[in-house]
A and B are shown apart, each in its own frame.
Chain A
Amino acid sequence: MNRCPSPVELERAYWTPAVATLRVHAAGCSRCSAELAEIEALVAAGRAIEPTPASPERREEIRTTILAAQGRSARPERRAIRWWHLAPVAAAAAAALLAWFLWPRGESGPVAAVRRGTVMVHGDARYMLMSPQPDEIVRLVDGTLTVQVEPLATGERFRVITSDGEVAVVGTAFDVTAASDRLVGVRVLHGVVHVRDGAGRIHVLQSGAVWQLPRESAPEPAPPPEPVLAPGPVGPRPPVERAPVRQMQSQPPPPAAPPARGEAQKAFDDGWNALRAERFDEAASAFARSLATGAGSKLAEDASYWQAVALARAGQAARAARSFESFLTAYPRSTRAGEASAALGWILFDARDYRGAARRFRAAIQDPSARVRRSASDGLNALREAGE
């Protein structure tokens, strides 16, 4: 191989026996040598990506669920088909054909079984996935779902319906709760949601906003949605491991997003991008901006938490500690309270405030996340080793 291979030829050569020739060429060619080194580095680093292995119990749990589902859907043995078996089928086919001709319809063409929504089930919510796109419908009877909807194409709809209400969305995520087949609450995580209540009124909810059925008309009991940050994919399958549904605060819902929300979101996104790029000081400043302009919104909770994280990563321990304290004071029931407590515990530990650290580690020791619990446990062990 005298000339340098094209990029595509180089890929082919690397993954076939021609790699030997390629290596000989690369020994005298800095460009191809660099390409080879990059491929090898990507292969090595990529193959090192290993998920945490599932515990034997979890593995067995999944296995059981899969086999149970298979058992339910297994078909019976085939039997010989007689001509009289076909009579009802033929009648049904004729009826279906007739209905197809008579049924009024708009656009023609095949309907793809596409779903744009992902549903996370809280507790034992009762729901059904009714139809795929172009008019995807989730029928909710009881309980809370977190729904994440991809951006819809032209002509597509996504709706969650109850007997008396309907929630329609375009590219968003939200929690929706029903009780006794009645719509009782909607909380928008991001995007815009249109809620049609039992009286036919349309409510347009922006990100962070909450709609709740007035108490006097709410069925008993009516657990409204709790804020959930990270919806997960479940689809029609039974839920495997879900966060427990907690009682919602009895406080009135937070106000709709203030007009400055766009600015707050932008600052939050800037902060997040800076954090990922390890520009921690810049990230902390951006989250602080987001916090200042988006006070009272759901975003503020996130911004407050990430500001503290960014400060900790920037090595500004004292400011990070104050920031975590503020977060925990403002959002004591946050899903991130345990993580924040553990992180604060370590900062206090480093600052030799052992009493404060112990208090924070103990606060995190019951967190739902195993990693947070482990961090808190490590912290308490470290305190013991330090003689505290």
Chain B
Amino acid sequence: MSRVIPIRRVAGRPSEMSDEALVAACATGETSALGALYDRHADGVRRFLARMSGTDDRDLDDLVQATFETVPRAARRFGGESQVRTWLFGVACNVARHHVRSEIRRKRLASAFAEERSGAQADTADEVLERERAARLQAAIAALPDKLREAFVLVYLEGIAGGEVARLLGVREGTIWKRLFQARARLRESLGGVYP
């Protein structure tokens, strides 16, 4: 697989450029290309990070920012072997891996729980229970080991093909299926039985 080596500025307005061209332009330091990439993918990356890190909105903004700040450096190594969206998720994965877990997450979940509670007094019991259930699933996903969580979120939740995820994570495709099975078994265990 060849590597994109940008040696001159990519022509065209950022809004008209393909994702791949924007990444190549980012690698040359084109600020407007980075802005266009952010405009196109910030929401998707944010959602992905929420699913990956199980963190709250305050941390999410930091993680999105860190991801896109990393893009220009990472863009120099972009080889076009995956879609740009998938590649961005790979960059976000690395950022999320460095996100401190344990106590911060526990405290943040505690805080979110409290805020949710205080804001949910007027909700119906069903809504509250449904939200609690979703929160438990999110916490269980967040508690998965990195490798299992990455495979699970990328395939189950983002719908990316197993082969592409395998290339992104640098493993064999069979490993991805195995990790998915293990992730599901772990989730079943932590959620106390077969889901739902």
Known: A73-B72, A372-B115, A372-B119. A230 touches B104 (CB 8 A): yes
Residue of A nearest to B68 (CB): A66
Task: Tell me whether B19 is interfacial, beta carbon within 8 Å.
Answer: no
> Which residues of the other chain, A, contact B194 by a CB distance below 8 angstroms?
34, 38
B88 to chain A, nearest CB (A): 13
Q: Are A7 and B181 touching (Cβ within 8 A)?
A: yes
CA A182 – CA B169 in complex, angstroms?
45
Known: A43-B157, A230-B111. A69 touches B69 (CB 8 A): yes
CA A52 – CA B58 in complex, angstroms?
10
Q: Are B35 and A41 touching (Cβ within 8 A)?
A: no
Task: Tell me whether A90 is interfacial, beta carbon within 8 Å.
Answer: no
CA A241 – CA B118 in complex, angstroms?
22
Interface-forming stretch among A22-30, A54-62, A290-298? A54-62
Residue of A nearest to B54 (CB): A49
Additional 8 contacts, C-beta under 8 A, given A50-B50, A66-B69, A372-B119? A49-B138, A63-B42, A75-B29, A231-B104, A278-B132, A339-B115, A343-B118, A374-B119
Task: Tell me whether B103 is interfacial, beta carbon within 8 Å.
Answer: yes
The answer, among A39, A67, A342, for a CB contact under 8 Å with B35, is A67
Q: Are A15 and B35 touching (Cβ within 8 A)?
A: no
The answer, among A46, A47, A70, A233, for a CB contact under 8 Å with B72, is A70
Q: Are B110 and A46 touching (Cβ within 8 A)?
A: no
B-side binding surface: helix, strand, loop or mixed? helix
Q: Are A272 and B195 touching (Cβ within 8 A)?
A: no
> Which residues of the other chain, A, contact B69 by a CB distance below 8 angstroms?
66, 69-70, 237
Q: Are A53 and B34 touching (Cβ within 8 A)?
A: no
CA A234 – CA B98 in complex, angstroms?
11
CA A10 – CA B162 in complex, angstroms?
13
Known: A8-B177, A372-B119. A45 touches B43 (CB 8 A): no
> Which residues of the other chain, B, contact A63 by a CB distance below 8 angstroms?
35, 38-39, 42
Known: A15-B155, A45-B195, A371-B118. A234 touches B62 (CB 8 A): yes
Interface residues, chain B, with chain A CB atoms under 8 Å away: 29, 31, 34-35, 38-39, 42-43, 46-47, 50-51, 57-66, 68-69, 72, 98-100, 102-104, 106-108, 110-111, 113-119, 121-122, 132-134, 136-139, 141, 152-153, 155-157, 161-162, 174, 177-178, 180-181, 184-185, 187-188, 194-196
> Which residues of the other chain, B, contact A371 by a CB distance below 8 angstroms?
115-116, 118-119
Q: Are B110 and A272 touching (Cβ within 8 A)?
A: yes
> Which residues of the other chain, B, contact A378 by a CB distance below 8 angstroms?
119, 121-122
Known: A11-B180, A43-B156, A51-B60. A336 touches B137 (CB 8 A): no
Residue of A nearest to B100 (CB): A118
> Which residues of the other chain, A, contact B157 by a CB distance below 8 angstroms?
43, 46-47, 49
Please provide the chain A residues from 209 to 224 with a CB less than 8 Å away from any CB of chain B in the complex: none
- Give 16 A-B contacts (CB < 8 Å), ordered by A residue: A8-B177, A8-B178, A38-B195, A43-B156, A46-B51, A50-B50, A51-B47, A53-B46, A58-B61, A66-B69, A229-B107, A231-B107, A237-B66, A241-B58, A343-B121, A372-B115
Task: Tell me whether A366 is interfacial, beta carbon within 8 Å.
Answer: no
Q: Are A190 and B103 touching (Cβ within 8 A)?
A: yes
Task: Tell me whether A158 is interfacial, beta carbon within 8 Å.
Answer: no
Residue from the set B111, B177, B188 with the largest chain A CB neighbour count within 10 Å: B177
> Which residues of the other chain, B, contact A10 by a CB distance below 8 angstroms?
181
B69 to chain A, nearest CB (A): 5
CA A276 – CA B43 in complex, angstroms?
29
B27 to chain A, nearest CB (A): 10
> Which residues of the other chain, B, contact A38 by a CB distance below 8 angstroms?
184, 188, 194-195
> Which residues of the other chain, B, contact A150 by a CB distance below 8 angstroms?
100, 102
CA A240 – CA B62 in complex, angstroms?
7
> Which residues of the other chain, A, contact B181 by a CB distance below 8 angstroms?
7-8, 10-11
Task: Tell me whether A323 is interfacial, beta carbon within 8 Å.
Answer: no
The 3 closest A-B pairs by CB, nearest first: A74-B29, A51-B50, A346-B121
Residue of A nearest to B65 (CB): A62
> Which residues of the other chain, A, contact B99 by a CB distance below 8 angstroms?
233
CA A129 – CA B146 in complex, angstroms?
26
> Which residues of the other chain, A, contact B107 by a CB distance below 8 angstroms?
229-231
Q: Are B121 and A70 touching (Cβ within 8 A)?
A: no
Residue of A nearest to B153 (CB): A46
Known: A15-B155, A42-B195. A232 touches B62 (CB 8 A): yes
Binary CB contact string for chain A from 65 to 88 against chain B (1 if under 8 A, 0 otherwise): 111011101110000000000000
